[in-house]
Structure 1
Amino acid sequence: MLGRMKKIDDIYTFEDGAFHEKMLRISFSALVAGVLAALAWLAYSLIFIRHSPAFEFEWMIPGLGEGGSPARCAAWLLALVAGCLLPLPVHELVHGVLFKLFAPAGSHVTFGANWRAGMIYACAEGVVYTRRQYLVIALAPAIAVTAALIVLGIALRWPLWTIVVATVHLCGCAGDIAYVDIIRRNPLITHCEDTSFGASFYGEGRDDEGACGERSGGDDLDDRE
């Protein structure tokens, strides 16, 4: 397939400085949105639903509401840590399932970590996906895992916990969202190859037909904002 296609760009996830800057901007935006949501919830709860067990601080902190105790406070904090950490492998598992689902029979999906970059990842090295498939693979964990955290938070009646863990997870989705943004901004990209270093993007035509299409990442990321 690649012999009939023209390479548009390579993204080196762990090394591309411009890509890392893009990720930081996305993470910061998610963090700001989460902080604003938490402040809005705190203001709403203090004004309209004081003494409501839906406000978890009154549930766990002695003196703020009925039943507060150090044990409940510890349980909430442990649940917060778990809610921030456990979605990480689940997130990559969703990637892995979709990598496998859309890949040809016999393709292998691997999991790994780059501790220096602070990332864990799923990889289907050498497999070429269509534009739509890769967008689904990239976005699915951000949507599915965040939605699951929100449902769990609602079931626990812990709105502040829900906001915090959902925000942390979305901050961790910055790389996926950056990929989606790069692909979305360049209509020439028709196929994406998963690689050990990140991803390669391809379009119709051949490399020997002339210059590659418009770059979608690397040094030109800032120009495409």
Structure 2
Amino acid sequence: MRFRGDIQTFEDEGFLRRVAQSSAVTFVIGLGATLVFGIVLAMFAPGLFDGLLSGIFAADGRGFIDYLLWIAWVAVATAVSFIAHELVHGIFFKAFAPAGARVTFGANWKRGMLYASAEGVIYTRAQYLVIALAPTFVVTAALIAAGFACGCPVAGAFAATLHLSGCAGDWEYAREIAADPLITHCEDTASGVRFFGAGDAGDEGDRDEPAAPGAAARGEVRP
């Protein structure tokens, strides 16, 4: 296959900068949406509004204790969502991989990132896009549903915002793939992903190392 570029997730400063910017924008937009959502619920469907937040102001509420419990709900839901995020990646990594392929999980504490990896497995363009984006939809929807089920829809929306802020790296993977229509296959690695173009997915002959780790090089690389 012809090498078309790569992303070294933990080393590419340009990639990390774009992820941080996207994460910050997502948080601001999500926070605003959560506030609007909470106001709409309070005005038009007060029965659905978070009981713990209502307890802050209610005469029979527990005031600050209810607020702390609400914060704890958000914190636990967010922590669980990050773990679920990687599990969803892992499920799709496994579903699209050949029999016997191994999926691993880990963390880069320096960068504050959890990750799932199917090192060395080559996926089609469409498969890798599904793997990258699945947690954005699956986990976010689960958080919203859990918020309503537990009587804390605003907390669920806020946890969903925090989770989406952590999806920016996946979106950057997808953006890189979408930006190059000639990418046909993606090889997962422990440190990121490598992109390949035209050629047989099993052809090892043209799979050369990129000239500079983390560079989004383009064009054909020959042995």
Are 2:13 and 1:17 aligned? Answer: yes
Tell me the equivalent position of 1:59.
54
- Residue by residue over 1:165-196, the C-alpha shift from the partner in whole angstroms, topping out at 9 and shown as x without a partner, is 00100011111111011111110100000012
Whether the aligned pair in 2 keeps the contact of 1:53 and 1:59 (CA below 8 Å) is no
Are residues 59 and 9 of structure 1, via their aligned partners in 2, closer, same or farther at CA, if it must alter by over 3 Å?
same
Are 2:151 and 1:157 aligned? Answer: yes
SS at match of 2:132: helix
Whether the aligned pair in 2 keeps the contact of 1:19 and 1:218 (CA below 8 Å) is no
Are 2:31 and 1:38 aligned? Answer: no
Task: Give, in angstroms, the shift of residue 59 of structure 1.
Answer: 2.8
Q: Identity across aligned pairs (percent)?
A: 44
SS at match of 1:99: helix
User: How many pairs were matched up?
Assistant: 205
Whether the aligned pair in 2 keeps the contact of 1:59 and 1:67 (CA below 8 Å) is no
Q: Distance in 2 between matches of 1:94 and 1:42?
A: 29
Are 2:64 and 1:68 aligned? Answer: no
- Residue by residue over 1:122-147, the C-alpha shift from the partner in whole angstroms, topping out at 9 and shown as x without a partner, is 11000000001000100111110000
Q: Distance in 2 between matches of 1:12 and 1:191?
A: 17
SS at match of 1:22: helix
Tell me the equivalent position of 1:97.
91
> Which of 160-169 and 64-73 deviates more?
64-73
Tell me the equivalent position of 2:185.
191
SS at match of 2:115: strand
Whether the aligned pair in 2 keeps the contact of 1:7 and 1:207 (CA below 8 Å) is no
Tell me the equivalent position of 2:75.
81
Whether the aligned pair in 2 keeps the contact of 1:58 and 1:66 (CA below 8 Å) is no
Pick aligned residue for 1:147 from 141, 148, 159: 141
Are residues 170 and 137 of structure 1, via their aligned partners in 2, closer, same or farther at CA, if it must alter by over 3 Å?
same
Are residues 76 and 202 of structure 1, via their aligned partners in 2, closer, same or farther at CA, if it must alter by over 3 Å?
same
Q: Distance in 2 between matches of 1:30 and 1:58?
A: 24
Tell me the equivalent position of 1:7.
3
Q: Distance in 1 between matches of 2:88 and 2:179?
A: 25
Letter in 2 for 1:115: W
Whether the aligned pair in 2 keeps the contact of 1:59 and 1:66 (CA below 8 Å) is no
TM-score (norm 1): 0.83
TM-score (norm 2): 0.83
Task: Give, in angstroms, the shift of residue 80 of structure 1.
Answer: 1.3
Q: Distance in 2 between matches of 1:80 and 1:39?
A: 15
Whether the aligned pair in 2 keeps the contact of 1:16 and 1:218 (CA below 8 Å) is yes
Q: Distance in 2 between matches of 1:98 and 1:44?
A: 36
Q: Distance in 2 between matches of 1:126 and 1:176?
A: 18
- Residue by residue over 1:190-216, the C-alpha shift from the partner in whole angstroms, topping out at 9 and shown as x without a partner, is 00000122000000049999xxxxxxx
Are 2:102 and 1:108 aligned? Answer: yes
SS at match of 2:71: helix
Letter in 2 for 1:59: S
Q: Which residues of structure 1 form unaligned runs of 5+?
A: 210-216, 221-225
Whether the aligned pair in 2 keeps the contact of 1:6 and 1:207 (CA below 8 Å) is no
Task: Give, in angstroms, the shift of residue 24 of structure 1.
Answer: 1.5
Task: Give, in angstroms, the shift of residue 42 of structure 1.
Answer: 4.2
What CA RMSD, in Å, does the superposition of the two structures yield over aligned residues?
Answer: 2.3
Q: Which residues of structure 2 form unaligned runs of 5+?
A: 207-213, 218-223
